[in-house]
Structure 1
Amino acid sequence: MANNTKRRPEKVYFPNIDVENLEEYRIGGYHPTVIGDAFHEGRYKVAHKLGFGGSSTIWLARDRHLQRYVSLKILMARQATESNEAKILRLLSGCSSESTHSGQGFIPRLLDDFTIDGPNGRHLCLVQEFAACSITVAKEWSSNNMFPVETARSIAAQLILGLSYLHSRGVSHGDLHMQNFIYGLNIDHLSPDELYSRYHFDTAPVRRVNGAAPEPHAPPYAVWSMPIKTPADKLVDPIIKISDYGTSFVTADNPSPQLCTPTLYRPPEALFDDRIIPFAADIWTFGVNLYEVLGERPLFETFTWDRDDILADIISTLGLPPQRWWDAWANRGEFFERDGEWRKGGIISRIYDPVWRPLSQRMWDMGRGEKPEGCEWDVEGGEMRALEDLFRGVLAWEPNERWTAEDLVGSEYMVRWALPAWERQRRRQGEEASPA
């Protein structure tokens, strides 16, 4: 009898933690980049590493023409002809000055793009404004996993305006999550020595399992990402950018896409393999992440990222789904009785007491205070209520019932709390930029 078991490919490199997958240094994969490499006729010189993803490495580079630091994203060779990222960024950068949307400033500008040839193929390179620290990292390094209230409100306004701009241009982001909400620092004045003194430069050797030299397909060493660690609780007046358009698309070209969003942030229609409405999917994912941006913890919390566990927690938050999805959920009996009550002795109850924790309760569980008198939100003025209204609007079960980005811009929370915080930030930064 034939053995149809697929053999795993043999490892070529010894792995290293906290760096890109070294096995992708092969034909069609990453470009072997090292500190000091210069690209595009020597204009962009690599100074440090900003990060990596499943399809690219991102580097801090010095633009020798303009004497400033930029972000240099080098896509895998097999992505060079498949990626629409440059097209999307050009579209988003192409709004005329007469009709500039107030959210355009929260999208990284595409400054340059070009291709390079290397031992693994031809790679597309995208040059953008420098921004390196994600909201995720900032929260992880804070003492309370939260931004100051004024900062959180301003971040919410910036993200809402940025999302509104994307949708106004017909673009669905497709992967809105906190790692793609980033902010930068002004480091243009730093010399290379000053840069490395402030942001330590660490490497690890790249070694082949067979003992051969890693070159030409891999670099001689891997670089750990630039350690920008601004704690969220100390962050004041950040300018946020919505980044990473590798999975974005123009909705007119792709009206019912396949989502690449992590399961925890996917809208319910994707969990039930129902039709995807791009903007409505963005809105759901944005809402799930906005809750975590504003507070201490995730909105939906499970011990695994299993689809059924996530659905059970969504139902605990929002109530029962539409009947067609309830009937189609094959494993619902592991969590619920037919009438929607928690199943006694079911999977959920083996982990924690089977109780509902609806959205109204989760608003108090954000970490801003569990009682009105101690809450950091303006409870007396109605901020908590307006914020809950916002989440109910963006987390409607039915895609066509969810708020639009323009609904978010016009919402009570945006108008009375988020936008004023952003406008106060703008005034402060304008005063700081003014001559004495």
Structure 2
Amino acid sequence: MAKENVYHSQPDVERLEDYIPGGYHPTIIGDTFSNGRYTVIHKLGFGGYSTIWLARDQQHGRYVSLKILTARASLESHEGEIITLLMNSDLYHTGKQFIPPLLGQFSFHGPNGYHSCLVGELAGSTVAKSKEDSPNYMFPADAARSIAAQLILGLSYLHAKGICHGDLYLRNILLRTSNFDDLSIPKLYERFGNPRKVTIRRVDGSPSQPHAPLHAIPPMGLYTPANELYDPEIIISDYGTSFLVAQTPSPTLYTPPLYSPPEDLFNEPISHPTAADIWTLGVNLYDVLGERPLFETLSWDRDEIFGEIIDTLGKPPLRWWNSWLDRPQFSKEDGSRIDGFDSINPPAFRRLPRRLWDMGRGETEQTCEWDVAGGELRALEDLLRAMMAFEPTERPTVDQILKSEYVVKWAMPAWERQKARKRAHSTGEKD
């Protein structure tokens, strides 16, 4: 029997049913933490294991983010340890700049249990939200190439430190934002809007407190449409499910199904976790570079997703093809789609080359924003096909990806041009 809801659900806020012992801490605007050092000013976001708040650090006179983990997650999470390891490494690596600095951490008791809190640098919108806020769902072409380079460099640093991210997708990729520490709190509200309160009501009519606050707060509008971002800088965030590969013999991935590698979809042991990150990175790169996701389904059903993967990349190894019990409902014997399976996509093959033209960048060589004549689309196809090899052992390492034709000729030059513009702007301001 399904468990009855305790609270009336509300849009644009965290899952209210998790305001229970072991769940979210009932945070409200004006709350203070760490002996009054941090004052909660607004809401930045939320996830399944945390709520993230904008706070004023009274000691240093700056705005910071407070990531308050659920009590359950606080017992198991090693996120603070992972970020600390990444921050304190003496390894010189260009990708280190894409790791979020941990400014502090503390723990406290609340009505729902014992919570860990990570203090971080303020960041802006997620890459996913930025795309959603754009009328064409795309970054400018060179900005997209630059983000691709930054993602690859950041993951290269993680893997160099022996860490598998395990949950890499566009809602965990943040955009750096301008510093507004000099804004007073009233001026901040004037610019971004006052916190909006959404009343929390229990189904049985009893008071929501102490386990839930009186009001939930939708996140503030730190949004910049992707089409207006010409020099985006990213931060790879959310290490709540990341792990040290050498110390985790039987890891579990928490990647959303649309980004999961096929070995995870078929419940095989994740014996090559960094190769799983590579598959997921490939899916993300397509999404970053174009308008739409690589695999498109009406739901996040495993069978539908696997049908999309086969339609894109061809038939998988026989151990998966033969063990896929519902295959006759989704794919023909040649790997093409069953007629009428998906009202969005045609039933015929829509292989990777076709999907590259379907990215929204132009449908002919003359109208396409990519350097088609120079071989950019071909190089991108070669890279994505290698990254999404069905067998994990056949996927390239991230350092091999950095040497690929696409990265060397198109992605990295875009990132270098962006850095040059930033240096020129900084020099101009000093003059």
TM range (shorter): over 0.9
**Match runs of 1:302-317 below 5 Å:** 302-317=297-312
Q: Is residue 293 of structure 1 aligned with residue 285 of structure 2?
A: no
Aligned-residue offset at 1:390: 1.0
Aligned-residue offset at 1:357: 0.8
Structure 2 CA distance, aligned partners of 1:404 and 1:432?
35
Bigger shift: residues 298-307 or 278-287: 298-307
Contact 1:150/1:421 (8 A) holds in 2: yes
**Secondary structure of 2:76 counterpart:** coil
Map of 1:74 onto structure 2: 68
Map of 1:88 onto structure 2: 82
Aligned-residue offset at 1:196: 0.8
Which of 191, 194, 197 is residue 203 of structure 1 equivalent to? Answer: 197
Q: Deviations over 1:120-160 (max 9, x none)?
A: 11110001111130011111111111000111111111111
Which of 190, 207, 214 is residue 213 of structure 1 equivalent to? Answer: 207
Structure 1 CA distance, aligned partners of 2:394 and 2:23?
42
Structure 1 CA distance, aligned partners of 2:320 and 2:250?
19
Q: Deviations over 1:385-435 (max 9, x none)?
A: 111111011011110001111111111111111111111111222222230
Aligned-residue offset at 1:11: 3.1
Bigger shift: residues 421-430 or 50-59: 421-430
Map of 2:236 onto structure 1: 242
RMSD of the alignment, in Å? 1.7
Which of 221, 226, 229 is residue 227 of structure 1 equivalent to? Answer: 221
Structure 1 CA distance, aligned partners of 2:207 and 2:409?
61
Map of 1:421 onto structure 2: 414
Structure 2 CA distance, aligned partners of 1:236 and 1:12?
45
**Match runs of 1:283-362 below 5 Å:** 283-340=278-335, 342-343=337-338, 348=341, 353-362=346-355
**Match runs of 1:37-436 below 5 Å:** 37-96=31-90, 99-186=91-178, 187-200=180-193, 201-276=195-270, 277-340=272-335, 342-343=337-338, 348=341, 353-434=346-427, 435-436=430-431
Q: Deviations over 1:187-242 (max 9, x none)?
A: 22221111111111211122333433322222121111011221100012121011
**Match runs of 1:15-54 below 5 Å:** 15-54=9-48
Q: In structure 2, what residue type is equivalent to 1:179? A: R
Structure 1 CA distance, aligned partners of 2:13 and 2:294?
29
Q: In structure 1, what residue type is equivalent to 2:182? A: H
Contact 2:67/2:117 (8 A) holds in 1: yes
Distance 1:140 1:88, change over 3 A: same
Aligned-residue offset at 1:338: 3.6
Structure 1 CA distance, aligned partners of 2:249 and 2:291?
35
Contact 1:255/1:278 (8 A) holds in 2: no
**Secondary structure of 1:112 counterpart:** strand
Q: In structure 1, what residue type is equivalent to 2:142? A: E
Aligned-residue offset at 1:292: 0.8
- Aligned residue pairs total 426
Q: In structure 1, what residue type is equivalent to 2:324? A: W
Distance 1:315 1:70, change over 3 A: same
Q: In structure 2, what residue type is equivalent to 1:293? A: V
Aligned-residue offset at 1:340: 3.9
Structure 1 CA distance, aligned partners of 2:381 and 2:2?
51
Distance 1:141 1:337, change over 3 A: closer
Structure 1 CA distance, aligned partners of 2:141 and 2:33?
42
Map of 1:3 onto structure 2: none
Q: In structure 2, what residue type is equivalent to 1:413? A: Y
Structure 2 CA distance, aligned partners of 1:17 and 1:132?
21
Contact 1:114/1:126 (8 A) holds in 2: yes
Aligned-residue offset at 1:353: 4.1
Contact 1:335/1:347 (8 A) holds in 2: no
**Secondary structure of 2:100 counterpart:** coil
Q: Deviations over 1:323-378 (max 9, x none)?
A: 221111112222334444555xx562787642001111111111111111111111
Structure 2 CA distance, aligned partners of 1:58 and 1:261?
20
**Secondary structure of 1:419 counterpart:** helix
Contact 2:315/2:334 (8 A) holds in 1: no
Normalized against structure 1, the TM-score is what?
0.94
Structure 1 CA distance, aligned partners of 2:330 and 2:113?
50
Distance 1:26 1:348, change over 3 A: closer
Structure 1 residues without counterparts, runs of 5 or longer: 1-5
**Secondary structure of 1:241 counterpart:** strand
Bigger shift: residues 41-50 or 200-209: 200-209
Structure 1 CA distance, aligned partners of 2:345 and 2:357?
20
